[in-house]
Amino acid sequence: MIHIFDGAMGTMLQAGGLKPGACPELMNIEHPDVVKSIHKAYVEAGATIVETNTFGASRLKLDHYGLADRTRELNTAAVKLAKEAVLDRAKVAGSMGPTGRFIEPLGDLDFETAYATFREQAEALAEGGADYLIIETCIDIQEMRAALLAAKDATDLPVICQLSYSEDGRTVTGTDPQSAAVTLDAMGADIIGVNCSLGPEQLVPIVQKLHDSCTKPISVQPNAGMPILENGTTVFPMHPDDFGYWAPKLVEAGASYIGGCCGTTPAHIRAMAEAVRGMDEPAPNDGPRMLALTSRSRTVCIDKSLPTRLIGERINPTGRKKLAAEIKSGSLLSVKKEAVNQVKAGANLLDVNMGVGGIDQTAAMKQAVTEIAQLTDAPLVIDTGDAASLEAGLRAYPGRALINSVTAEDYRIETYLPLAKKYGAAILCLPITEDGVPKTAEARLRAVRTIIEKAKEQGLRDGDFLLDALVMTVSADVNACNEVLKTLQGYRREFGYPATMGLSNISFGLPARPLINSTFFAMCLAAGLDAPIMNPYDEAMQNALAASSALLGKDPNGLAFSRHDWSGYGTHNGAVTKTVKKNDASAPQDTLGRIKQAVIEGEKDVVAELVDQAIQEKHEPNEITEKALTAAMTDIGEDFGAGRMFLPQVLLSAETMRTAFDRLKERFPAAAGPSKGTVVIATVKGDVHDLGKNITGALLANSGYQLVDLGKDVDADTIVRTAIEKQADIVGLCALMTTTMTQIDTVIAKLHEAGSHAKVIVGGAALTQEYADEAGADAYAPDGVKAVKLADALTGHAC
């Protein structure tokens, strides 16, 4: 049987008397009959699960209405109303919506504050008697992680996790369905899905990808198409019959739970329920689980059937005095450079170790993980011997990390495995026991077998393990190489899980170490090594990998090998030689080019120094602005539009550019000149959503505009008065809710009446280009990056 959710709540509340700008959740207390009648209507239409009227009933959201102290009351009342309305005809899902703020470093919301907010609401919904918790309409995987952790810690109820995706198939912050499914499945979400933003046709491929990427049931709640304006009223155009037409296709794509979101009514749900009546639930994706690790925007799978994955080892202060000293001083400049450069050199994952004596390693790990995760899309390996540091890193990481490492020692088993289960991390199994390092392959297999057995007792599954073969030095142990090879072969034969190890230890104490290492590397690849931990800058190792991949069939027909740059190779007396290239030809050598690159890569720590250097070289402020800073944002806009860069990186780049602008103004107050112009920005009256507005405002401010942010739920007269007083060049208007879109028309009309010459840019999830044209806006911005480009064009600052 297919499970049927209900449809939209907000529009029906308004039909029942909810005033624009009023708190929808207060209806649970002041107009309970209206709320109950909506639940009844959906159950009569065929819904088997109804959602409580608590989408915005978290403390952070209720604070806007002065109702934060009534959080528990409003949530428990909502569940009881739903229970009374449905009796035994349907289950009740406690709805938990987003906070409306980004978690650091993308925004100003602390992870622990978000966690506490969601936990309070989850506890209240459970106390009221909810059958499920549904966390929905999230656009940031880190906020979803905070909510899921809170829900799991607070209750034993099944938890449904639904993100919202844009037309490019990613969330606003860049998460794709595969990465979301892998991350949430590992963390213990019971049902994984998608809601809002798009219509059913656009969500079919997203449902398919979710189903193929995890083992959990899939849910989907589309909008009734995209909103349009008819006779001054916002409507969703999809007819119930058309909505029902897509229901079987969503089931065929893998959805077991289906329903509606914005614009859907009991008629839409009735059509959907009738269309899937008699259909069986899709079979779960219960095929072999592959080890998959994720960042916010990318999934990396490790398996014998796939190309070898490189784990970059360079973010480790062991034996590196300069790096250790920097970390101890509180600077992560070299750490972040190593992260970016290792990925450029071919690392697929990054090992992160903050093991420096005399520092707060827990704080250092949290900071390093947070900053590296914003800089690169490579999944992280959290490398620490301290459980507190491990948890700090796992909690801060917006993806699925690998723990390096879990041994067969009691301390690691007892402390690390519960953390792996709680945070959905995979584990690197290192065959060390209470008796030390096993010398033989047989003993190493026994140690790993113990780790895997204990891990499965904690709830870990196939696909959660990476096995380390443990390399010793051949100069001290004549059998070191052979035992590693036998261990790799044993892992593949007995467990079938992928294998890893560090390589360089094999040659310690010997001459010609690069030759030993690269030869050993090739032997290990043939024996079953899947993910070496290595220095990705090492050309000899990279070349051994390229050749081995071709010979072992991981590079079919040697295609990638043939495309490799072998121009430095030649022969001398019959021997192959190689000229090692020391410099990256693609790296800019001039200072303006380096400033541009620093902005693109978000190097806040170095850009001010580069600006100083450019000034010393007699570059004029306007030249620095145009050829470095503005040029960087042009490239960033193109990369963002093409899906090569995502919001976290864009925000970091914008902050970096702001740092450069500030240094220019500091050095040349007059020459730096005025700002590009004044922008007054606001979310319109009746709309309390301001996340998109805040992103756009930050990008505009960091791009050189003077920003006047009026906030959310702002009436037309205030916007117009401020635009006149501030002599605004641009007025930016945001509306997320379909019911508040028409306020944009009102503001534009009043701006014209007041004689304002400001250009108007509009945006928001509910808006379209067609609506913007009808409303008389000068431009429509689907995202913040586009808003900056439009503002530049409208004010004459476009390149």
Rounded to two decimals, what is the model's pTM?
0.90
Tokens of 183: 């991350």
Task: Give the per-residue pLDDT at 120.
Answer: 98
pLDDT at 775: 87
pLDDT digits (tens, 9 = 90+) for 600-616: 999 998 999 999 999 99
Of residues 533, 496, 503, the one with CA closest to residue 518: 503
Average pLDDT over residues 503-513: 92
Out of 18-27, 217-226, 768-777, least confident range: 768-777
Residue from 400, 431, 557 nearest 495 by CA: 431
Q: What is the mean pLDDT of residues 736-759?
A: 88
What separation in angstroms does the CA of 370 have from each of 380, 383, 668? 11, 15, 34
Say how many C-beta atoms besides its own lie within 10 A of residue 737's C-beta: 23
**CB neighbour list of residue 625: distance below 8 Å, 6 or more residues apart:** 661, 664, 704
Using CA atoms, how far apart are residues 123 and 506, in angstroms rounded to an integer?
54
In the sheet that holds 706-709, the strands lie side by side as 706-709, 678-683, 730-734, 759-763, 779-780
| Predicted local distance difference test score (pLDDT) of residue 438 | 96
The C-alpha R_g of the chain, in whole angstroms, comes to 28
Dihedral of the alpha carbons of 194, 198, 201, 205, in degrees to the nearest 10: -40
pLDDT tens digits, 630-672: 889 889 888 888 888 888 888 899 889 889 988 988 888 765 5
Q: Using one digit for the tens of pLDDT, what is the confidence trace for 8-19?
A: 999 899 889 999
Q: Would you state the pLDDT for residue 799? A: 58
Sign of the CA dihedral with 445 first, then 451, 454, and 459 last: negative
**Three-state SS at 496:** coil
**Which residue is listed with tokens 């020459």?**
671
Mean pLDDT of the chain: 92
Furthest CA-CA distance within the chain: 93
614: three-class secondary structure by DSSP: helix
CA 494 vs CA 95, 193, 417, 448: distances in Å:
45, 35, 22, 11
Q: How do beta strands 228-230 and 159-163 pair?
A: unpaired
Average pLDDT over residues 504-521: 93
Question: What CA–CA distances, in Å, run from 766 to 372, 603, 743?
Answer: 33, 35, 13
Whether the CB-CB separation of 100 and 114 falls below 8 Å is answered with: no
CB-based contact 714:728 (threshold 8 Å): no
With cut-offs at 50, 70 and 90, classify the pLDDT of residue 227: confident
Q: What is the pLDDT of residues 35-92, one digit of tens each?
A: 999 999 999 999 999 999 999 999 999 999 999 999 999 999 999 999 999 999 999 9
In this model, does residue 428 exceed pLDDT 50?
yes
The first and second tokens of residue 389, run together, are 């540091």
Dig out the tokens for 172 from the structure: 């606003």
Nearest by Cα to 195 from 6, 400, 397: 6
Measured distance CA(606)–CA(674) in Å, rounded: 25
Phi, psi of 580 (to 5 degrees): -75, 125
Question: Hunting for tokens 């209240």 — which residue is that?
Answer: 124
Residue 776, sorted as left (phi over 0), alpha (psi -120 to 50) or beta, turns out to be left
Q: Which pLDDT belongs to residue 313?
A: 97
Question: 486-497, pLDDT tens digit by residue?
Answer: 999 999 999 999
pLDDT of residue 568: 67
Q: Does residue 624 contact residue 595 with C-beta atoms inside 8 Å?
A: yes
Q: Does pLDDT of 673 surpass 70?
A: no
Q: Is the dihedral of CA 559, 561, 566, 572 positive or negative?
A: negative
Statement: residue 385 has pLDDT above 50:
yes
- Residue 616: phi and psi, rounded to 5, are -65, -30
N-terminal to C-terminal alpha carbon distance within the chain: 57
Rounded CA separation 519/528 (Å): 15
Q: How many CA atoms lie within 13 A of 190 on its CB side?
A: 15
Structure tokens of 126?
């459970």
Residue corresponding to tokens 């030689």: 577
Report the C-alpha gap between 405 and 468 in whole angstroms: 9
pLDDT value at residue 572: 44
